[in-house]
Amino acid sequence: MTVAAALAVGAALVASGAFAALRGGGAPRQLVALPVLGAGAAIALAGAARLAAGRADPDSGQELAALVAVAALAATILGVAWARRGAAR
């Protein structure tokens, strides 16, 4: 698996886990979203660590991990906005 694929899959899992947690449905649905969030974060951080191991600058992996976290948050915000728009119609 390439670094880009690991980061994309990790960001998608984090976004879908956060979306499932924020969607509602009570505590059981929010608890089910926790493993998805953890798996997405682990995959994204593993991809960022793999990138950092191959670079001369060790801080590039940390910067990329922060970028993945921001991208996942942005995807979650968009998903929640689209879901609210669909529920309002």
**φ/ψ of residue 55, rounded to 5:** -100, 160
| pLDDT tens figures, 13-31 | 888 888 888 877 766 667 7
**Residues 71/11, Cβ–Cβ less than 8 Å:** yes
Structure pTM?
A: 0.60
The more confidently predicted of residues 88 and 6 is: 6
| pLDDT tens figures, 31-40 | 778 788 888 8
Structure token pair of residue 46: 């593993």
Q: Residue 60: exposed, middle, or buried by beta-carbon count in 10 A (0-12, 13-18, 19+)?
A: middle
